[in-house]
Amino acid sequence: MKYYLIVGEASGDLHASNLMAAIRREDPEADFRFFGGDLMTAVGGKRVKHYRELAYMGFIPVLLHLPTIFANMRLCKEDIVQWHPDVVILVDYPGFNLGIAKFVRAKTRIPVFYYISPKIWAWKTYRIKNIKRDVDELFSILPFEVDFYRKYDYPIHYVGNPCVDAVAKFRETTSETWAEFLRANGLDPSRPIIALLAGSRKQEIKDNLPDMIRAASAFPEYQMVLAGAPGIDPFYYGEFIQGTPVKVVYGQTYPLLANAHVALVTSGTATLETALFRVPQVVCYHTPIGKVISFLRRHVLKVKYISLVNLIAGREVVRELVADTMTVENMQRELRRLLGGDERRKMLDEYDRIINLLGAPGASEKAARQMLDVLRGRS
């Protein structure tokens, strides 16, 4: 069968490449065409556009690049019609992908699948109308989304979470010991690690890392180790860590989490990965307009939490210090609670419950099997 996939960022490229590999195991004759990245290209097929030509973040960059965005959308629509795949598979990236879904539904008879749901449960809930109208099947990686969509009488498939797969694969293929990790990175064997995961974008790092370092510096019996993000120049970190004892490790986020005692984590997928490694954490997300963000969080966002850990648990498992509540004093207080004792044990017990909710590894394989079952049933 012919599969047309569309992603708009690096995480989508990773998840789509794993899905493509799983589809090929189920359908050896699979033919892929896609808007995607290098990882998808490595699996095989024809790349029409790289996601770097699609991804514009923020109001001003989007406004400045509107002609390019419209041209890419027009190209994608024309290419789908011309190639006429057996299915279009959209991966996250709702601003672009929901427009494509609307077109495919209105102008063709090609089924539309969505892998990794748009986060409409956080805001823009009105998009449920578009999804119900334009998307034939939705394959979710977050268990709480099943109940959310059920409220709108729209059944979806929960297939497991790719982070579970990635962590399981790391553990299966890595034999590095604590001592080896420390020796390889020039770390002190006498002090446990406070891991700093300050985000993957320069603005996030600028907003979060300085206060993270100040907070963790109050515990000199621990050593601070920063997870260097892909694509961030080491010189950029230099302006924040110069004159501090912070060590940076690059391309080693999972080894760092496997050896950390506690972590300060900027919200995102990293919060879930930290939980899967059973590292107690404080979620920290600073913004220069903290009071405004706090207002929007109370009155605009449709969810109580911003971290995947708390969203999956359905209650506060990790403390979220966001906007005007992210202060050095608050971070120090929360770190102190988690270095040992009952609060640490309670969080680890909650992590075990979350891991059970997420289910066993194999999200890509399960999604691929269910997609092919649906397609074969339609034919």
Residue whose entry in the numeric block shows the structure tokens 């899905």: 19
Q: Are residues 332 and 374 in the same domain?
A: no
Domain hosting 285: range is 165-358
Q: Are residues 194 and 321 in the same domain?
A: yes
Mean pLDDT for 114-135 is 92
How far apart are the C-alpha atoms of 268 and 200, rounded to whole Å?
10
Better-predicted residue by pLDDT, 121 or 195: 195
pLDDT category of residue 200 using cuts at 50, 70 and 90:
confident
Q: What angle do CA 287, 247, 263 make, to 5 degrees?
A: 55
Which one, of 201, 328, 317, lies nearest residue 268 by Cα?
201
**Which of the residue ranges 48-57, 202-211, 215-224 has the most confident prediction, judged by mean pLDDT?**
215-224
Q: Are residues 125 and 154 in the same domain?
A: yes
According to the model, what pLDDT value does residue 166 have? Answer: 93
Q: Is the pLDDT confidence value at 292 over 50?
A: no
CATH of the domain at 232: 3.40.50.2000
Question: Which range is least confidently modeled, 130-144, 172-186, 297-311, 313-327?
Answer: 297-311
Per residue in 4-47, pLDDT (tens digit) is: 999 988 888 999 999 999 999 999 999 999 999 999 999 999 99
Hey, what amino acid is at 137? E
Q: Is the pLDDT confidence value at 83 over 60?
A: yes
Q: Are residues 213 and 232 in the same domain?
A: yes
Q: Which two tokens stand for residue 152?
A: 């709108």
Q: Are residues 175 and 305 in the same domain?
A: yes
- SS3 (DSSP) at 123: coil
Q: Are residues 179 and 56 in the same domain?
A: no
0.75 exceeded by pTM: yes
Q: Is the pLDDT confidence value at 173 over 70?
A: yes
Q: Into how many domains does the chain fold?
A: 2
Residue 86's contacts (CB-CB under 8 Å, 6 or more residues apart) are 1, 2, 3, 110, 111, 375
Q: How many beta carbons lie within 10 A of that of residue 241, not counting itself?
A: 18
Q: Is the pLDDT confidence value at 60 over 50?
A: no
Q: Are residues 197 and 280 in the same domain?
A: yes
Q: Are residues 229 and 277 in the same domain?
A: yes
Per residue in 126-156, pLDDT (tens digit) is: 899 999 999 999 999 999 999 999 999 999 9
pLDDT category of residue 299 using cuts at 50, 70 and 90:
very low
Q: Are residues 372 and 331 in the same domain?
A: no
Q: Are residues 351 and 366 in the same domain?
A: no
- How far apart are the two ends of the chain, measured CA to CA in Å? 11
How far apart are the C-alpha atoms of 211 and 214, rounded to whole Å?
5
Q: With beta carbons less than 8 A apart as the criterion, state whether 101 and 112 touch.
A: yes
Question: To the nearest 10°, the Cα dihedral for 8, 10, 14, 17?
Answer: 40
Q: Are residues 96 and 220 in the same domain?
A: no
Q: Are residues 250 and 178 in the same domain?
A: yes
According to the model, what pLDDT value does residue 160 have? Answer: 97
Q: With beta carbons less than 8 A apart as the criterion, state whether 320 and 309 touch.
A: no
According to the model, what pLDDT value does residue 53 have? Answer: 76
